[in-house]
């Protein structure tokens, strides 16, 4: 903290240039209470120095770029408070937000960070098996969940740093990473050679979070170090995925969608995340604008797009796309699916990320049993789960003439009351 504060004080012009990332702190608290998961911005200067940013006026969220010059001032704690920001060219952009055209294998450096008063429990062999093993590993999870689109390989090393696990804040976390990377370089594992850097901390650390990741960046910190879901979740953030939110008494909370690993459960990704990652063939996502009966294949079946695995309908009333998909409780990671999702039509609301600096979660707004309806909030579209055939399902979609703002029409009847169009 002292080193970083002195470094910031050297920035007399109160202007910093670099790449801004969203850091997401995960506590996985979703037992009916609001989560503490709160994203924050971190600027990485072109020399690699991370600087925690304060953004009281929200100037970063809608900037539309990540390469920035920010003006402001650091407070006594070392947080640099942003007054204004502008896009600049050059340097490193966050990656991984858009679809990948081909299978991508990420090279990951896993650093066991032993501290002066506490050590990492899992051994190098444990972590190698958990992350990169041929079965039940995080790589195996991504291979299944993304239909082979996203894979993981890498190295596991151990370092010892002269820091205590008895304190925890953002500045110390950056110092731990820098000390660990310096040793890794000496050992012949320079961080610059890897797509992902996973700092594994002692779980006895007083840090209260399970994991932290840069969204669209390559860094993650893991404290809950024996749970493979935490690693997969943070790597999902690195890939650009936001949280899988759900409703509790009509209010959206992080993690509350139990049909996606970006929520509380270690389960394969939901339909909007699969499309965001480019992991569905385009023929597997059908955009619906007209009334009809549509057949869906269960989302995680190995299919060829006939029938499709997701339906997508633009919802003007919410300014987002609605995704429909069938989840079938069959197969690795899908079998433990909770009853509120299993054999139902998941209804997700999602707006593709428009900027890299704001959190864009998916939202599970409903899960339909056979015979149940989902209505758009303005009453222009009704979705009905008609029939369940196990691995496929029929969905009836009724589109009112007023859908998509037809200039002259009679207003549709109001939808049933509920959570924003659900019933
Ligand atoms: Zn998260």
Nearest to 209 by CA among 404, 35, 398, 414: 35
Prediction pTM value: 0.91
Cβ count within 10 A of residue 414: 10
How far apart are the CA of 254 and the centre of ligand 1, in A? 8
Q: Is the dihedral of CA 93, 98, 100, 106 positive or negative?
A: positive
pLDDT recorded at residue 421: 46
- Is there a contact between 191 and 197 (Cβ–Cβ < 8 Å)? yes
Q: How far apart are CA 170 and CA 206, in angstroms?
A: 13
The tokens describing 16, both together, are: 């910093």
What's the 210 CA to ligand 1 centre distance in angstroms? 9
Q: What gap in Å lies between CA 418 and CA 41, rounded to an integer?
A: 35
Compute the distance from residue 78 Cα to the ligand 1 centre, in Å: 25
Rounded distance from Cα 211 to ligand 1 centre (Å): 8
Q: What is the Å distance from ligand 1's center to 91 Cα? A: 26
Sole residue written with tokens 């990420």: 106
| Rounded-to-integer distance, Cα 224 and Cα 24, Å | 15
- Low pLDDT (below 70) residues in the chain: 1-13, 30-39, 91-103, 303-305, 352-357, 405-409, 417-423
Tokens coding 24 = 């997401």
For ion ligand 1, residues whose CB falls within 5 Å:
24, 26
Domains (ranges, CATH) in the chain? 2-87 (2.40.50), 104-238 (3.40.390.10), 244-399 (no CATH)
What pLDDT score does 423 carry?
39
Question: 398: CA distance to ligand 1 center in Å?
Answer: 36
Distance 217 CA to ligand 1 centre (A): 13
CB 381 within 8 A of CB 403: yes
Do residues 93 and 67 touch, judged by C-beta distance below 8 A?
A: yes
CA 92 to centroid of ligand 1, rounded, Å: 23
385 CA to middle of ligand 1, Å? 31
DSSP string of 25-66, one letter each residue:
EE----SSS-----EEEEEEETTS-EEEEE-TT-TTTT-S-S
How many Cα neighbours within 13 Å face the side chain of 209?
Answer: 25
CA of 361 from ligand 1 middle (Å) equals 10
Residue 71, H or E segment? strand 67-74
Structure token pair of residue 401: 């003439």
Token digits of residue 222:
């893991």
């Amino acid at each position: 903290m002292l080193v970083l504060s002195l470094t910031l004080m050297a920035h007399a012009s109160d202007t910093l240039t670099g790449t801004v990332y969203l850091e997401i702190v995960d506590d996985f608290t979703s037992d009916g209470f609001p989560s503490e998961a709160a994203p924050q911005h971190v600027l990485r200067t072109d020399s690699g120095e991370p600087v925690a940013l304060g953004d009281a006026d929200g100037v970063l969220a809608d900037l539309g770029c990540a390469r920035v010059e920010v003006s402001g001032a650091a407070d006594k704690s070392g947080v640099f408070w942003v007054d204004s920001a502008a896009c600049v060219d050059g340097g490193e952009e966050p990656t991984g937000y858009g679809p990948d055209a081909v299978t991508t294998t990420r090279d990951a450096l896993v650093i066991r960070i032993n501290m002066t008063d506490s050590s990492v429990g899992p051994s190098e062999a444990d972590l190698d098996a958990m992350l990169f093993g041929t079965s039940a590993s995080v790589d195996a999870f991504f291979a299944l969940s993304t239909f082979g689109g996203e894979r993981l390989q890498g190295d596991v090393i151990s370092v010892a740093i002269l820091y205590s696990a008895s304190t925890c804040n953002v500045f110390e976390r950056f110092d731990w990473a820098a000390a660990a990377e310096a040793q890794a370089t000496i050992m012949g594992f320079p961080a610059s050679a890897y797509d992902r850097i996973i700092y594994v901390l002692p779980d006895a650390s007083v840090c209260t979070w399970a994991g932290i990741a840069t969204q669209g960046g390559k860094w993650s910190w893991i404290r809950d170090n024996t749970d493979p879901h935490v690693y997969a979740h943070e790597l999902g953030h690195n890939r650009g995925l936001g949280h899988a939110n759900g409703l509790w008494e009509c209010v959206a909370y992080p993690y509350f969608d139990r049909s996606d690993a970006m929520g509380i459960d270690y389960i394969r990704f939901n339909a909007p995340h699969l499309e965001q990652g480019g992991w569905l063939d385009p023929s597997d996502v059908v955009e619906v604008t007209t009334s009809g009966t549509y057949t869906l294949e269960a989302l995680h079946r190995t299919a060829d797009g006939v029938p499709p695995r997701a339906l997508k309908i633009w919802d003007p009333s919410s300014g987002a796309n609605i995704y429909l998909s069938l989840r079938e409780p069959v197969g690795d990671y899908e079998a433990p699916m909770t009853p509120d999702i299993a054999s139902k039509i998941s209804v997700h609301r999602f707006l593709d990320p428009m900027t890299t600096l704001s959190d864009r979660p998916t939202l599970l707004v409903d899960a339909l049993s056979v015979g149940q309806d989902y209505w758009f909030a303005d009453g222009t579209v009704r979705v009905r789960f008609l029939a369940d055939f196990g691995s496929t399902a029929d969905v009836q979609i009724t589109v009112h003439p007023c859908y998509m703002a037809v200039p002259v029409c009679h207003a549709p009847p109001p939808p049933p009351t509920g959570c924003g169009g659900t019933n």
